[in-house]
Amino acid sequence: MNAVDIEALSVNYGAKHAVQGLDLRVRPGTTCVLLGPNGAGKTTTLSVLLGLRPADSGRVSVLGRDPRDPALRHLIGVVLQDGGLPMAAKPVAIVHHFARLYSNPLPLPELMEKLGLEHLDRPYRRLSGGEQQRVKLAVAMIGRPQLLVLDEPTTGMDPAARRVFWTLIDELRQQGVTTLMTTHQPDEAGTRADQIAVIHHGQVIADDAPDRLIEASPVWFTCARHLDLSTLRQVLGDEYDVAEVEPGRYRVRGDVDVPQMSAIEAWVAGHGDGRQAVTMVRSLEEAYLEMTGGSAW
Amino acid sequence: MRAGSSAASPARRVWAQAVFDTGNLLRNGENLLLTLVIPVAVLLLALMTPLGGERSEAQSLVAALSLAVLATAFTSQAISTGFDRRYGVLRMLGLSPLGVRGLLLARALVSLLVIAGQSLLLVVLTGVVGGWWPDDAAQLLQAGLGVVLAVWALNAWALLLAGALRAEATLAVANAVFLLLMFGGGLIIPADSLPWSAFTAWLPTGALVDAMTEPVLAWLPLLVLVLWGSVGTLLASRFFRWQA
């Protein structure tokens, strides 16, 4: 049984098709990241999974149950973009309160220390965005959930806090917890997730392991000198699209494998001024931008 | 950090939420002014100054207690729920093991807990300052039933406001209704001094005052409160939205 099973999900807001025919399966004990431009349908999909919004059509199952089943409430930890916590209460009081809703919550001091919350003695409304996100995360984790559903959980977090976040997610994965989350940090997700689903215009347009998605990324390289690319095109062949996208920044599209990478490096070394090293770059972010056409929304 | 906890028992969840919310309310200065300072001031002014007019100590206590019920079960409830809804707190709690029903029960319990505290304080003040203590058990029972029904009715209308309007509009309307009922609903100014005295008995506050003062068994004010509660619950279940 998959932790999350979505088949042909469609959700409309009036005439707008927010999600149209979306399919997604997340295996238990894995970390799945949803990537997509703003308005792609990520949050709407999570809302349906959490039973906050009905599906117009399609089939959705969460831990083998209907998303609106009240029995799911203690099995899922949630961070919502617009799901707040009591503004006047202090972090320790908030997390302690949520702990009392469970029969066997995590030890509070341990969790607060892991998330760096133990010394925050200000009301929730006076915390920074990153601190508020960490409190939300503590609330999501306190009940030992089987599934974490996190909508942009690292928003506002500094790099150190993001590192702690991913360490916690890794620990939970080792204990069999499934995480489904959205983020706007593709490369961060690329190094830690088991599965990445790219959502665009309400549909999953790619769903695979990060390494495989990165293979679809164009290759970028830079050179201080202007290069005449016509001979490189001859070296690589017609199936490769080579272009100088910005002055000194070059992109090669196509199925670039190791021999082609070596050929490109050798060609640039022979045509540059020979003094600078050529850096070949290929990343999940580039793969993502390629898939979504660089669309910001 | 092993996965697989279970939810606490429903009663424990509701009680935990009620205690948490009550603590937050008691730490809120504006809320204390509304639910404690104003009713106590009204009672003391009525007992100790000529502003009380011809009112007996018992009538002063009923007026102050009805005001406390209105402030807690309606105005305070509407404002806190409205802002919790705006900040997404209701959504988060609805997704927790507490759930939507647990949250509603906890909110009602908060009103009852605070009103129990207010009642105790106001009765003791009336006894100490005015020298009058309630001694009719049947009358007390009827008054208690009236308070419970009033809490239900006023909570339902508070949730209707908070769940249908923006938080700022809820704040304005809840305070306006509080002032209107305080001065025009037979609380500060006795109902029989008002030109619309025949009408006040049909208001939730007027019915509450009657349930606490009329001889046992005063079924009409209790029925009026049941009607307000039923209509409020029906409308709230139809128009309440968890997300702003």
pLDDT value at position A52?
Answer: 92
3-state secondary structure of A118: coil
Tell me which residue of B63, B148, B43, B163 sits closest to B103, measured CA to CA. Answer: B163
* For residue B2, pLDDT beyond 60: no
Task: Please tell me the least confidently modeled range out of B132-136, B143-147, B169-173.
Answer: B132-136
pLDDT value at position A265?
Answer: 79
Would residue B100 count as lying in a domain? yes
Number of C-alpha atoms within 13 angstroms, CB side, residue A194? Answer: 16
In chain A, the residue whose alpha carbon lies closest to the alpha carbon of B14 is A101
CA dihedral (B141, B147, B149, B150) in degrees, to 10, reads 160
Would residue B199 count as lying in a domain? yes
* Interface with A, mutate which of B13, B15, B20 (most A CBs under 10 A): B20
Cβ contact B16–A82 (<8 Å): no
- Output the six-digit token pair for A262: 């070596």
pLDDT value at position A93?
Answer: 96
Which among B4, B8, B27 is the nearest to A101, CB-wise? B8
Alpha helices in chain A (DSSP H): 42-49, 91-99, 108-114, 129-141, 159-174, 186-192, 210-215, 230-236, 258-271, 284-292
pLDDT value at position A297?
Answer: 55
Query: Any residues with CB less than 8 A from the CB of B203 and at least 6 apart, and which?
Result: B181, B185, B186
Q: How far is B196 from chain A (nearest CA, A)?
A: 41
**A50 contacts on B by Cβ (under 8 Å):** 95
* For residue A150, pLDDT beyond 60: yes
Looking only at the bridges linking them, the beta strands covering A280-281 and A219-222 are antiparallel
Question: Scanning the structure block, which residue is given the tokens 């799945």?
Answer: A32
Would residue B25 count as lying in a domain? yes
Q: Is the ipTM of this complex over 0.90?
A: no
pLDDT in tens, B176-197: 999 999 999 888 888 888 888 8
Interface membership of B83 toward A (CB under 8 Å): yes
Side chain identity, residue A261? M
pLDDT value at position A227?
Answer: 78
pLDDT value at position A11?
Answer: 96
Rg of chain B taking only CA atoms, in angstroms:
18
State the DSSP code for A184. S
Cβ contact A73–B99 (<8 Å): yes
Beta carbon pairs, A and B, within 8 Å: 102
Which among A74, A83, A141 is the nearest to B92, CB-wise? A83
Interface membership of B7 toward A (CB under 8 Å): yes
What proportion of chain A, given as a percentage, has pLDDT over 70? 96
Would residue B244 count as lying in a domain? no
* For residue B3, pLDDT beyond 70: no
pLDDT value at position B228?
Answer: 98
* For residue A248, pLDDT beyond 90: no
pLDDT value at position A97?
Answer: 97
Query: Any residues with CB less than 8 A from the CB of A117 and at least 6 apart, and which?
Result: A91, A92, A95, A131, A134, A135, A138
A267-285: average pLDDT: 71
Question: Scanning the structure block, which residue is given the tokens 């959504």?
Answer: B91
* For residue A282, pLDDT beyond 80: no
Taking a C-beta distance cutoff of 8 angstroms, is the pair A227, A272 a contact? yes
pLDDT in tens, A221-239: 877 777 788 877 877 888 8
Identify the domain containing residue B162 by its residue range: 10-239
Task: Please tell me the least confidently modeled range out of A2-16, A124-138, A202-216.
Answer: A202-216
B209-218: average pLDDT: 92
Residue A123, phi then psi, degrees to nearest 5: -60, 155
Question: Scanning the structure block, which residue is given the tokens 């109902």?
Answer: B191
Candidate ranges A190-199, A242-251, A262-271, B186-195; pick with highest mean pLDDT:
A190-199
Sign for the pseudo-dihedral over CA of B217, B218, B220, B225: negative
Would residue B1 count as lying in a domain? no
Number of C-beta neighbours around residue B198 at 10 A: 11
In chain A, the residue whose alpha carbon lies closest to the alpha carbon of B85 is A84
- Output the six-digit token pair for B33: 């002014």
**B22 contacts on A by Cβ (under 8 Å):** none
Identify the band that residue B239 occupies on the pLDDT scale cut at 50, 70 and 90.
Answer: very high
When divided into structural domains, chain B yields a total of: 1
Interface membership of A171 toward B (CB under 8 Å): yes
Residue A218, phi then psi, degrees to nearest 5: -65, 160
**B96 contacts on A by Cβ (under 8 Å):** 73, 98, 101
pLDDT in tens, B80-136: 999 999 999 999 999 999 998 899 999 999 999 999 999 999 999 999 999 999 999
* For residue A23, pLDDT beyond 60: yes
Interface membership of B80 toward A (CB under 8 Å): no
Interface membership of A144 toward B (CB under 8 Å): yes
In chain B, the residue whose alpha carbon lies closest to the alpha carbon of A177 is B3
In chain B, the residue whose alpha carbon lies closest to the alpha carbon of A136 is B92
Would residue B4 count as lying in a domain? no
Interface membership of B231 toward A (CB under 8 Å): no
Cβ contact B7–A141 (<8 Å): no
**A176 contacts on B by Cβ (under 8 Å):** 3
pLDDT value at position A285?
Answer: 84
In chain B, the residue whose alpha carbon lies closest to the alpha carbon of A149 is B95
Would residue B5 count as lying in a domain? no
Interface membership of A176 toward B (CB under 8 Å): yes
pLDDT value at position A151?
Answer: 94
Q: What does pLDDT average to over chain A? A: 89
Query: Any residues with CB less than 8 A from the CB of B85 and at least 6 apart, and which?
Result: B162, B163, B167, B241, B242, B243, B244
Task: Give the residue, A156 or B168, on which the prediction is more confident.
Answer: B168
- Output the six-digit token pair for A170: 């890794």
pLDDT in tens, A24-36: 999 999 999 999 9
Task: Please tell me the least confidently modeled range out of A113-122, A148-157, A283-292.
Answer: A283-292
Would residue B76 count as lying in a domain? yes
Cβ contact A97–B91 (<8 Å): no
Tell me which residue of B105, B42, B111 sits closest to B78, measured CA to CA. Answer: B111
Which among A87, A101, A176 is the nearest to B16, CB-wise? A101
Q: In what order do the strands lie in the sheet with A178-182?
A: A76-79, A147-151, A178-182, A31-35, A195-200, A203-208
Interface membership of A85 toward B (CB under 8 Å): yes
pLDDT value at position A274?
Answer: 59
Interface membership of B20 toward A (CB under 8 Å): yes
Query: Any residues with CB less than 8 A from the CB of B149 and at least 6 apart, and which?
Result: B211, B222, B225, B226, B229
Identify the band that residue B77 occupies on the pLDDT scale cut at 50, 70 and 90.
Answer: very high
